[in-house]
């Protein structure tokens, strides 16, 4: 796999190309219950815990940024709160498995003491355990860094993707480094990660949401790329790329879904209508994959798409 020699392309260019080439796919809304009038969005893909498929989701009042992460199981077509599962005061959950151990995390948000609606800072926090009910904290990221994700490599080492912002005059970049043990996941190591250049133009941003070890040893990264229009109107698109941990090269990003592929629905605010926040991807043997995503910061949907990582696995 060769690193891209071209310059980063804007969301507008990527979206125009995606609109020309995309297959005719349509998503569906997931129904959640047991949370009152609150919204559930920015979910993970389903993962196995004690023999049961579980989704973690961000639960929040429409008018607030104060969130809880709760765990849900499917019952008769609805996702209901899992009885006895812990609840975390976090946003935007994620999961991975490292050497058979469940790694769970989310974004811890800090609010102004005088204004409960004003966010002053945030950081990514990590928990580990053999199962959800055994999760214990073990690491945290630097202040203002989201989108830190782990993946177990073919070598047995652990790959770590980061998202420092800003970086010089660039709004954000993706970083990467490796560790031998989970105890080495420190703030200092995250701040020194190598940067992946030419993924975003300087006024746009993005990050990794989930990392998959591919059959050829490359890492398939599911993420998002975003831009802002006049009036602070946000546009978030699910994207994917491949990273080679041996020679530290990467492919350009490609879009894999857009808001108009999903049913219409409410938005948390008018500036968030065109927001898809990639949560997770379940790959299937037939060449498709199911993308789980937050929609407009108010709902959670899923869509079956062509597996975005198959083309990267051809580089054996």
What pLDDT, in 10s, does the model give residues 182-240?
999 999 999 999 999 989 999 999 999 999 999 999 999 999 999 999 889 999 999 99
pLDDT, one tens digit per residue, over 81-97 is 999 999 999 999 999 99
pLDDT at 285: 96
Q: Check residue 4 and give its pLDDT.
A: 46
Would you call 221 helix, strand, or coil by DSSP? strand
pLDDT at 112: 84
- Return d(Cα 79, Cα 115) in angstroms, integer: 34
Q: What is the DSSP letter of 237?
A: E
- What average pLDDT does the chain have? 95
Positive or negative, the CA dihedral 15, 196, 151, 236 is negative
d(CA 172, CA 203): 8
Average pLDDT of span 232-255: 96
pLDDT at residue 114 greater than cutoff 80: no
Mean pLDDT of the region 285-312? 97
Residue length, the chain? 316
- pLDDT higher for 245 or 1? 245
pLDDT digits (tens, 9 = 90+) for 2-17: 454 468 999 999 999 9
Residue 102 confidence (pLDDT) = 98
pLDDT of res. 314: 81
Structure tokens at 264: 């219409």
Q: What is the pLDDT of residue 222?
A: 98
Domains of the chain: 11-313 (2.115.10.20)
Per the CB < 8 A criterion, the answer to whether 235 and 227 are in contact is yes
> How far apart are the C-alpha atoms of 238 and 13, rounded to whole Å?
14
More confident position, 119 or 131: 131
Mean pLDDT value of segment 286-299: 98
What is the DSSP pairing of strand 274-283 with strand 234-244? parallel
Average pLDDT over residues 171-187: 97
Closest of 130, 136, 52 to residue 88, by C-alpha: 136
Find the mean pLDDT for residues 55-81: 96
Query: What is the rounded CA–CA span in Å between residue 155 and residue 171?
Result: 33
- pLDDT given for residue 316 in this prediction: 47
Tens digits of residue pLDDT in 145-164: 999 999 999 999 999 999 99
CA 55 vs. chain centroid, Å, equals: 14
- What are 63's two structure tokens? 């008018």
């Amino acid at each position: 796999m060769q690193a891209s020699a071209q310059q980063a392309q804007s969301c507008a260019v990527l979206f125009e190309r995606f609109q020309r080439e995309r297959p005719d796919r349509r998503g569906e809304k997931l129904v959640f219950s047991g949370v009152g009038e609150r919204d559930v969005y920015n979910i993970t893909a389903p993962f196995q815990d004690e023999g049961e498929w579980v989704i973690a989701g961000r639960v929040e009042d429409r008018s607030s940024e104060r969130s809880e992460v709760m765990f849900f199981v499917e019952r008769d077509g609805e996702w209901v709160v899992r009885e006895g599962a812990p609840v975390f005061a976090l946003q935007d959950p994620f999961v991975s498995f490292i050497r058979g151990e469940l790694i769970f995390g989310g974004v811890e948000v800090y609010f102004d003491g005088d204004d409960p609606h004003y966010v002053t800072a945030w950081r990514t926090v990590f928990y580990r355990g053999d199962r959800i009910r055994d999760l214990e904290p073990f690491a945290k990221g630097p202040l203002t860094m989201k989108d830190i994700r782990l993946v177990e490599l073919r070598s047995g080492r652990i790959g770590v993707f980061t998202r420092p912002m800003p970086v010089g005059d660039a709004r954000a970049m993706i970083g990467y480094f490796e560790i031998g043990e989970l105890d080495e996941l420190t703030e200092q190591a995250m701040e020194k990660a190598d940067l992946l250049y030419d993924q975003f133009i300087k006024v746009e941003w993005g990050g990794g949401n989930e990392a998959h070890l591919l059959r050829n040893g490359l890492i398939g990264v599911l993420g998002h790329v975003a831009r802002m229009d006049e009036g602070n109107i946000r546009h978030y698109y699910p994207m994917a790329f491949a990273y080679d941990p041996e020679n530290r090269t990467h492919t350009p990003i490609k879009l894999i879904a857009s808001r108009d592929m999903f049913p219409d629905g409410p938005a948390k605010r008018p500036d968030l209508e065109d927001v898809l926040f990639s949560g997770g991807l379940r790959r299937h043997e037939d060449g498709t994959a199911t993308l789980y995503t937050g929609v407009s910061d108010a709902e959670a949907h899923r869509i079956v798409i062509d597996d975005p990582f198959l083309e990267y696995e051809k580089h054996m």
